[in-house]
Amino acid sequence: MMHLNLSKADIARILIFNTVMKTKSMTQTAHALNISHSSVYMAIKKLRVLYNDELFVHDKKGLLPTEFANRLHTEMLGLHNSQLKVQASADSSHRTHFIFSCAPHLAATVIPLTYQVMQETLSFSLEHKPLPDTPEARIELLLNNKADVIFDYAPVQHDDIYFKRLFTEDYAIVCRKEHPRFSDAISLKEFYQEKQAAVGCLSRFDNLIQESNTDNVFFSSHYYLVLLSMVEVSDIICVIPVNIYLKLHASFNIKSLSYRFKVNTKKTYLYINYLKDPTRIKDKDVLLKKIEKMH
């Protein structure tokens, strides 16, 4: 017997199963729900493993349900209808909000870009949530519909979550304008000799500094404003995205140094992650597809 405490992924699989029962076809189910054939296949595959039953067998007339699938369908129909009533109230505010989850320094980049792509149809208010620390918590955030999308330097790995690499970031090396050792350029040797400020925390850096080269990290923060506030009153240097530098340099006593080496960054690809959800409202689906084209 299934329980009522279902995630959005569970509800999506129930909807897919019920639709296959009706259409007798994975292809027609994918078309009816406007999802990929692979999403339908993976949902049925997961249910087959969960219930240890084939559920459907191939026939000239299409996919025929097993005896167990027929019993399961009766239960799922009632469960799905009950869950939709419970969810309707919980989702009422979520339907008018588009919720991001990402680290604060990423929010400064992705939220303005998202706003730009949705200006023509401002049907949602935007809300930012902090990014959970663990992969498990990030999965739970999407599976339980507590966020519409996660932006991070790594994909969220789960069968029910879609991810796509968006773009890479270009970086600037910055220091205070009156730095005693640098006028307008920095060499690779000098880069590794200088104390640095880094995005993240001392136990885990989100990007910019490889784990093997953190000995010269003197200061860290998740906030660019805090990092640059430290840089402008000290001799430490900092690596930040160029677009952030262009936005903030006029507000701080800092300058950008030219360099001719590859900045030793990690995880510079930005990923979008969101739930494979055939029940998602159309406007949000359209917005997610637009975000995927950001560069």
Could you give the domains of the chain? 8-91 (1.10.10.10), 95-165+269-292 (3.40.190.10), 171-257 (3.40.190.10)
Query: What is the number of residues in the chain?
Result: 295
Give the pLDDT of residue 182.
97
- What single string gives the DSSP state of each residue in 173-240? EEEETT-SS-SSB--HHHHHHS-EEEEEETTEE-SSS-GGG-TTEEEEES-HHHHHHHHTTSS-EEEE
Confidence (pTM): 0.63
Give the pLDDT of residue 208.
47
Give the pLDDT of residue 203.
44
Give the pLDDT of residue 79.
65
Give the pLDDT of residue 73.
86
Give the pLDDT of residue 121.
61
Give the pLDDT of residue 257.
97
Mean pLDDT by 10 residues, the chain (295 residues): 60 86 90 84 89 90 90 77 54 69 83 77 80 90 89 88 85 95 94 87 47 72 90 94 89 95 67 86 84 78
How many CB atoms sit inside 10 A of residue 272's CB? 22
Rounded CA gap, 175 and 259, in Å? 13
Contact 102, 108 (CB under 8 A): no
Give the pLDDT of residue 295.
65
